[in-house]
């Protein structure tokens, strides 16, 4: 009888299985938009009561930070008056800070809003302008436990998509964030308290967003990285969906990516779903 031909599948000397890729689940920052016009309806809260309830739910679901904003920063959005922004966010921060132990972040580019938010119990300042929109912001932000410096193409959310022009988006965003870190330190801030955010969707087109996501881990040499990709419009361009309500699968996929490239914080609308996805990945990687 002829012997059976050897097969790689039957070979007795098989290579050792590869180790699973390294995975570290990012911490989750839950989004609370006290606005009528933020791009995703699921993240909006029309009243103090609704925002308070959402904050409690996000913490129960596993959020380690809460990010509260009273002004939409979607592309084309208009700035709201100072007093309106204060009326939207301060009561929510006051109420939540008395109940929840997780740090609360104020999402604003106005120094007075940041100052009153810190007085009300916020501990993080998240400024999409990276301290450029208000000359007093660096001084106020220096009081916070953490500061988020984000890259935005253009001067404001209203016009940022008209300025999506880069010779090398990764190197230019990195250089910008490095300069803003230096500026914050020069104003008396502690750069060790900073998180940097490449600003996905803020003055970038699809390919620029994807390039920044691919290389986001490289920004960790500057500071810990916060990434916000949750339900953003570039995901719809990848999957040709109809709107933000269809973009949870893409958001979860990029949450997984963030864990494999070593990012520190994810700003998300869907805390429970993201937490479950990251837990499954951690278990598969042997980190549970």
Order of all β-strands in the sheet with 104-107: 194-197, 146-150, 124-127, 104-107, 65-69, 27-33, 265-268, 226-227
Q: Is 197:173 a contact under the CB 8 Å cutoff?
A: no
Q: Of the listed 74, 88, 267, 275, which one is catalytic? A: 267
Distances (CA, A) of 103 to 4, 94, 237: 66, 12, 34
Q: Of the listed 110, 232, 247, 275, which one is catalytic? A: 232
**CB under 8 A, 24+ apart: contacts of 112-120:** 112/82, 112/86, 112/136, 113/70, 113/82, 113/85, 113/86, 113/89, 114/140, 114/141, 114/144, 115/140, 115/143, 116/86, 116/90, 117/68, 117/89, 117/90, 117/93, 118/143, 118/144, 120/90, 120/93, 120/94
The Cα 107–Cα 111 span in angstroms is 11
The Cα 6–Cα 21 span in angstroms is 31
Q: Is 102:59 a contact under the CB 8 Å cutoff?
A: yes
123 catalytic residue (yes or no): no
The Cα 73–Cα 82 span in angstroms is 15
Q: Is 118:125 a contact under the CB 8 Å cutoff?
A: yes
Q: Is 241 exposed, middle or buried (0-12, 13-18, 19+ CB in 10 A)?
A: middle
| Residues with catalytic function | 232, 267
């Amino acid at each position: 009888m002829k012997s059976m031909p050897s097969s790689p599948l039957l070979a007795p000397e098989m290579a050792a299985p590869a180790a699973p890729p390294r995975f570290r689940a990012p911490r989750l920052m839950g989004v609370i938009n006290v606005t009528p016009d933020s791009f995703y309806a699921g993240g909006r809260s029309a009243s103090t009561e609704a925002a308070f309830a959402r904050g409690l739910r996000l913490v129960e679901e596993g959020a380690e930070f809460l990010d509260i904003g009273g002004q939409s920063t979607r592309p084309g959005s208009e700035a709201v008056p100072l007093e309106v922004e204060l009326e939207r966010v301060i009561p929510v921060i006051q109420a939540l800070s008395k109940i929840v132990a997780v740090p609360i972040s104020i999402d604003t580019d106005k120094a007075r809003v940041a100052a009153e938010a810190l007085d009300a119990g916020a501990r993080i300042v998240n400024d999409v302008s990276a301290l450029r929109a208000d000359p007093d912001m660096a001084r106020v932000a220096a009081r916070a436990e953490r500061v988020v410096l984000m890259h935005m193409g253009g001067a404001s959310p209203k016009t940022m998509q008209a300025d999506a022009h880069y010779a090398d988006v990764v190197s230019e965003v990195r250089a910008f964030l490095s300069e803003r870190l230096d500026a914050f330190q020069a104003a008396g801030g502690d750069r060790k308290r900073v998180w940097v955010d490449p600003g996905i969707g803020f003055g970038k087109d699809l390919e620029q967003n994807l390039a920044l996501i691919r290389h986001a881990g490289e920004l960790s040499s500057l500071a810990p990285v916060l990434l916000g990709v949750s339900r953003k419009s570039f995901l719809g361009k990848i999957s040709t969906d109809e709107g933000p309500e269809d973009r949870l699968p893409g958001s979860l996929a990029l949450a997984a990516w963030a864990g494999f490239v070593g990012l520190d914080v994810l700003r998300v609308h869907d805390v429970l779903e993201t937490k479950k996805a990251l837990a499954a990945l951690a278990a598969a990687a042997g980190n549970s």
